[in-house]
Chains A and B, each alone.
Chain A
Protein backbone atom coordinates (compact mmCIF):
# COMPACT_ATOMS: atom_id res chain seq x y z
CA UNK A 1 0.00 0.00 0.00
CA UNK A 2 1.58 3.30 -1.02
CA UNK A 3 1.47 6.41 1.10
CA UNK A 4 -1.48 8.24 -0.48
CA UNK A 5 -3.69 5.16 -0.57
CA UNK A 6 -2.79 4.50 3.07
CA UNK A 7 -3.85 8.03 3.95
CA UNK A 8 -7.14 7.54 2.15
CA UNK A 9 -7.67 4.23 3.99
CA UNK A 10 -7.26 5.95 7.38
CA UNK A 11 -9.31 9.04 6.51
CA UNK A 12 -12.23 7.07 5.11
CA UNK A 13 -11.94 4.41 7.83
CA UNK A 14 -12.01 6.83 10.75
CA UNK A 15 -14.75 8.95 9.16
CA UNK A 16 -16.90 5.83 8.81
CA UNK A 17 -16.10 4.79 12.41
CA UNK A 18 -17.05 8.23 13.70
CA UNK A 19 -20.27 8.20 11.68
CA UNK A 20 -21.32 4.82 13.09
CA UNK A 21 -20.45 5.90 16.66
CA UNK A 22 -22.38 9.15 16.27
CA UNK A 23 -25.37 7.30 14.82
CA UNK A 24 -25.30 4.90 17.79
CA UNK A 25 -25.25 7.69 20.40
CA UNK A 26 -27.96 9.71 18.65
CA UNK A 27 -30.11 6.59 18.45
CA UNK A 28 -29.56 5.84 22.14
CA UNK A 29 -30.74 9.32 23.02
CA UNK A 30 -33.79 9.12 20.73
CA UNK A 31 -34.70 5.61 21.91
CA UNK A 32 -34.28 6.59 25.57
CA UNK A 33 -36.37 9.72 25.19
CA UNK A 34 -39.16 7.89 23.40
CA UNK A 35 -39.23 5.20 26.09
CA UNK A 36 -39.65 7.68 28.97
CA UNK A 37 -40.72 7.56 31.77
CA UNK A 38 -37.85 5.43 32.98
CA UNK A 39 -38.80 2.51 35.21
CA UNK A 40 -37.38 -0.86 36.14
CA UNK A 41 -40.19 -2.72 34.46
CA UNK A 42 -41.22 -4.86 31.53
CA UNK A 43 -43.28 -1.93 30.25
CA UNK A 44 -40.16 0.17 29.89
CA UNK A 45 -38.36 -2.61 28.01
CA UNK A 46 -41.39 -2.98 25.74
CA UNK A 47 -41.35 0.74 24.99
CA UNK A 48 -37.60 0.55 24.32
CA UNK A 49 -37.83 -2.27 21.81
CA UNK A 50 -41.10 -1.22 20.18
CA UNK A 51 -39.68 1.81 18.37
CA UNK A 52 -37.20 2.01 15.51
CA UNK A 53 -34.40 4.04 17.18
CA UNK A 54 -33.18 1.14 19.28
CA UNK A 55 -32.24 -0.63 16.05
CA UNK A 56 -30.30 2.46 14.97
CA UNK A 57 -28.23 1.97 18.13
CA UNK A 58 -27.67 -1.69 17.30
CA UNK A 59 -26.71 -0.91 13.68
CA UNK A 60 -24.36 1.84 14.90
CA UNK A 61 -22.69 -0.50 17.40
CA UNK A 62 -22.32 -3.34 14.91
CA UNK A 63 -21.04 -1.01 12.17
CA UNK A 64 -18.53 0.60 14.53
CA UNK A 65 -17.33 -2.81 15.70
CA UNK A 66 -16.61 -4.12 12.20
CA UNK A 67 -15.07 -0.83 11.05
CA UNK A 68 -12.80 -0.86 14.11
CA UNK A 69 -11.73 -4.47 13.49
CA UNK A 70 -11.00 -3.62 9.86
CA UNK A 71 -8.99 -0.52 10.80
CA UNK A 72 -6.94 -2.43 13.38
CA UNK A 73 -5.59 -4.72 10.66
CA UNK A 74 -3.45 -1.81 9.49
CA UNK A 75 -3.62 1.15 11.89
CA UNK A 76 -1.25 1.30 14.90
CA UNK A 77 -3.30 0.73 18.05
CA UNK A 78 -2.28 3.95 19.84
CA UNK A 79 -3.41 6.60 17.34
CA UNK A 80 -6.35 4.40 16.41
CA UNK A 81 -7.45 4.28 20.05
CA UNK A 82 -7.37 8.08 20.19
CA UNK A 83 -9.24 8.57 16.94
CA UNK A 84 -11.88 6.04 17.95
CA UNK A 85 -12.92 8.25 20.89
CA UNK A 86 -13.13 11.50 18.98
CA UNK A 87 -16.83 10.85 18.46
CA UNK A 88 -17.42 12.78 21.69
CA UNK A 89 -16.74 15.91 19.65
CA UNK A 90 -18.95 14.98 16.69
CA UNK A 91 -21.74 13.92 19.07
CA UNK A 92 -21.51 17.27 20.86
CA UNK A 93 -21.85 19.17 17.59
CA UNK A 94 -24.71 16.98 16.37
CA UNK A 95 -26.63 17.26 19.67
CA UNK A 96 -26.39 21.03 19.50
CA UNK A 97 -27.59 21.01 15.91
CA UNK A 98 -30.37 18.40 16.22
CA UNK A 99 -31.57 18.80 19.81
CA UNK A 100 -30.60 22.43 20.39
CA UNK A 101 -28.56 21.46 23.45
CA UNK A 102 -26.59 24.35 24.93
CA UNK A 103 -22.85 23.73 24.67
CA UNK A 104 -21.40 25.75 27.54
CA UNK A 105 -17.88 26.56 28.63
CA UNK A 106 -17.80 23.47 30.88
CA UNK A 107 -18.59 21.17 27.94
CA UNK A 108 -15.96 22.73 25.70
CA UNK A 109 -13.30 22.69 28.45
CA UNK A 110 -14.23 19.14 29.47
CA UNK A 111 -14.11 17.87 25.89
CA UNK A 112 -10.72 19.57 25.38
CA UNK A 113 -9.26 17.95 28.51
CA UNK A 114 -10.67 14.53 27.62
CA UNK A 115 -9.31 14.70 24.06
CA UNK A 116 -5.89 15.81 25.38
CA UNK A 117 -5.93 12.88 27.82
CA UNK A 118 -6.88 10.43 25.09
CA UNK A 119 -4.01 11.69 22.94
CA UNK A 120 -1.60 11.08 25.87
CA UNK A 121 -2.96 7.55 26.34
CA UNK A 122 -2.63 6.90 22.60
CA UNK A 123 0.97 8.16 22.49
CA UNK A 124 1.83 5.92 25.45
CA UNK A 125 0.92 2.76 23.51
CA UNK A 126 4.00 0.96 22.27
CA UNK A 127 4.56 1.58 18.57
CA UNK A 128 2.94 -1.24 16.61
CA UNK A 129 4.28 -2.41 13.27
CA UNK A 130 2.94 -0.05 10.60
CA UNK A 131 2.31 -2.86 8.15
CA UNK A 132 0.64 -5.69 10.02
CA UNK A 133 0.31 -9.14 8.52
CA UNK A 134 -2.86 -9.49 6.49
CA UNK A 135 -5.32 -11.48 8.59
Chain B
Protein backbone atom coordinates (compact mmCIF):
# COMPACT_ATOMS: atom_id res chain seq x y z
CA UNK B 1 0.00 0.00 0.00
CA UNK B 2 2.80 2.39 -0.97
CA UNK B 3 0.31 4.88 -2.35
CA UNK B 4 -2.36 4.03 0.21
CA UNK B 5 -0.98 5.06 3.59
CA UNK B 6 -1.49 8.78 3.22
CA UNK B 7 -2.10 11.09 6.21
CA UNK B 8 -5.81 11.06 5.33
CA UNK B 9 -5.95 7.24 5.43
CA UNK B 10 -4.09 7.21 8.76
CA UNK B 11 -6.46 9.83 10.19
CA UNK B 12 -9.56 7.91 9.08
CA UNK B 13 -8.13 4.72 10.59
CA UNK B 14 -7.40 6.46 13.91
CA UNK B 15 -10.84 8.08 14.07
CA UNK B 16 -12.43 4.70 13.32
CA UNK B 17 -10.56 3.11 16.24
CA UNK B 18 -11.67 5.97 18.52
CA UNK B 19 -15.34 5.87 17.52
CA UNK B 20 -15.48 2.06 17.66
CA UNK B 21 -13.97 1.94 21.15
CA UNK B 22 -16.01 4.95 22.29
CA UNK B 23 -19.21 3.34 21.02
CA UNK B 24 -18.57 -0.04 22.61
CA UNK B 25 -17.61 1.52 25.95
CA UNK B 26 -20.67 3.79 25.88
CA UNK B 27 -22.92 0.78 25.24
CA UNK B 28 -21.23 -1.07 28.07
CA UNK B 29 -21.83 1.92 30.37
CA UNK B 30 -25.45 2.12 29.20
CA UNK B 31 -25.99 -1.57 29.91
CA UNK B 32 -24.51 -1.30 33.41
CA UNK B 33 -27.69 0.31 34.66
CA UNK B 34 -28.18 0.73 38.39
CA UNK B 35 -31.37 -0.90 39.72
CA UNK B 36 -33.12 -3.97 38.40
CA UNK B 37 -35.56 -2.64 35.82
CA UNK B 38 -36.37 -5.16 33.10
CA UNK B 39 -37.93 -5.12 29.63
CA UNK B 40 -39.34 -1.84 28.39
CA UNK B 41 -38.67 -0.08 31.70
CA UNK B 42 -35.00 -0.89 31.33
CA UNK B 43 -34.89 0.64 27.86
CA UNK B 44 -36.71 3.75 29.12
CA UNK B 45 -34.18 4.14 31.94
CA UNK B 46 -31.28 3.70 29.50
CA UNK B 47 -32.77 6.23 27.08
CA UNK B 48 -32.92 8.88 29.82
CA UNK B 49 -29.18 8.73 30.36
CA UNK B 50 -26.64 9.98 27.80
CA UNK B 51 -24.65 6.74 27.34
CA UNK B 52 -26.99 4.97 24.92
CA UNK B 53 -27.13 8.05 22.68
CA UNK B 54 -23.39 8.61 22.79
CA UNK B 55 -22.96 4.99 21.70
CA UNK B 56 -25.42 5.35 18.83
CA UNK B 57 -23.74 8.60 17.69
CA UNK B 58 -20.32 6.90 17.75
CA UNK B 59 -21.61 4.00 15.69
CA UNK B 60 -23.16 6.34 13.13
CA UNK B 61 -19.87 8.20 12.77
CA UNK B 62 -17.93 4.95 12.65
CA UNK B 63 -20.09 3.65 9.81
CA UNK B 64 -19.15 6.63 7.61
CA UNK B 65 -15.50 6.68 8.70
CA UNK B 66 -15.09 3.00 7.86
CA UNK B 67 -16.75 3.54 4.47
CA UNK B 68 -14.40 6.44 3.72
CA UNK B 69 -11.37 4.45 4.90
CA UNK B 70 -12.21 1.41 2.77
CA UNK B 71 -12.78 3.55 -0.30
CA UNK B 72 -9.08 4.53 -0.15
CA UNK B 73 -7.32 1.22 0.68
CA UNK B 74 -7.57 -2.30 -0.74
CA UNK B 75 -10.30 -4.23 1.09
CA UNK B 76 -7.97 -7.08 2.10
CA UNK B 77 -5.56 -4.63 3.76
CA UNK B 78 -8.35 -2.55 5.26
CA UNK B 79 -10.02 -5.37 7.20
CA UNK B 80 -6.66 -6.48 8.61
CA UNK B 81 -5.82 -2.95 9.78
CA UNK B 82 -9.31 -2.74 11.32
CA UNK B 83 -8.44 -5.65 13.63
CA UNK B 84 -6.66 -3.18 15.92
CA UNK B 85 -10.13 -2.38 17.30
CA UNK B 86 -10.00 -5.71 19.15
CA UNK B 87 -6.88 -4.55 21.00
CA UNK B 88 -8.23 -1.07 21.68
CA UNK B 89 -11.37 -2.49 23.29
CA UNK B 90 -9.43 -4.93 25.42
CA UNK B 91 -7.07 -2.23 26.71
CA UNK B 92 -9.94 0.21 27.30
CA UNK B 93 -11.84 -2.47 29.23
CA UNK B 94 -8.79 -2.91 31.44
CA UNK B 95 -8.45 0.83 32.08
CA UNK B 96 -12.10 1.70 32.61
CA UNK B 97 -13.82 -1.45 33.83
CA UNK B 98 -10.92 -3.06 35.66
CA UNK B 99 -11.09 -6.19 33.53
CA UNK B 100 -8.21 -8.59 34.07
CA UNK B 101 -5.21 -8.75 31.78
CA UNK B 102 -4.09 -12.37 32.02
CA UNK B 103 -0.79 -13.49 30.39
CA UNK B 104 -2.77 -15.16 27.59
CA UNK B 105 -4.64 -11.91 26.92
CA UNK B 106 -1.41 -9.91 26.82
CA UNK B 107 0.00 -12.46 24.33
CA UNK B 108 -3.17 -12.17 22.23
CA UNK B 109 -2.95 -8.36 22.23
CA UNK B 110 0.72 -8.48 21.21
CA UNK B 111 0.04 -10.95 18.38
CA UNK B 112 -2.88 -8.95 16.96
CA UNK B 113 -0.86 -5.71 17.20
CA UNK B 114 2.11 -7.35 15.48
CA UNK B 115 -0.14 -8.61 12.69
CA UNK B 116 -1.63 -5.15 12.14
CA UNK B 117 1.87 -3.61 12.18
CA UNK B 118 3.17 -6.09 9.60
CA UNK B 119 0.31 -5.20 7.26
CA UNK B 120 0.46 -1.46 7.93
CA UNK B 121 4.21 -1.06 7.60
CA UNK B 122 4.72 -3.15 4.47
CA UNK B 123 6.68 -1.28 1.80
> Are the CB atoms of B107 and A120 closer together than 8 Å?
yes
Q: Which residues of B contact A45 (CB under 8 A)?
A: 64
Contact partner of B68 (CB less than 8 A), chosen from A32, A95, A104, is A32
- Which of the listed residues A36, A92, A107 has the most CB atoms from chain B within 10 Å of its own CB? A107
B102 at the interface (CB under 8 A from A): yes
Number of B residues near A (Cβ < 8 Å) is 36
Complex interface bits, A29-43 against B, C-beta within 8 A gives 1, otherwise 0: 101110110100000
B57 at the interface (CB under 8 A from A): no
B72 at the interface (CB under 8 A from A): yes
Q: A48-B67, A107-B80, A114-B116 are in contact. Are A38 and B111 (CB under 8 A)?
A: no
Interface hit among A5-13, A68-76, A83-91, A127-135: A83-91
| Count of chain A to chain B residue pairs whose CB atoms are closer than 8 Å in the complex | 124
Interface residues of A in 80-110 (CB under 8 A from B): 85, 87-88, 91-92, 95-96, 99, 101, 103-104, 106-107, 109-110
Q: Which residues of B contact A113 (CB under 8 A)?
A: 111-112, 114-115, 118
Main secondary structure of the interface of B (DSSP, over half): helix
> Are the CB atoms of A120 and B111 closer together than 8 Å?
yes
> Are the CB atoms of B108 and A124 closer together than 8 Å?
yes
> Are the CB atoms of B118 and A91 closer together than 8 Å?
no
B50 at the interface (CB under 8 A from A): no
> Are the CB atoms of A32 and B70 closer together than 8 Å?
yes
> Are the CB atoms of B118 and A25 closer together than 8 Å?
no
Closest to A103 in B: B76
> Are the CB atoms of B116 and A28 closer together than 8 Å?
no
A133 to B34, CA, bound (A): 23
> Are the CB atoms of A88 and B111 closer together than 8 Å?
no
- Nearest Cβ on chain B to A36's Cβ, whole angstroms: 6
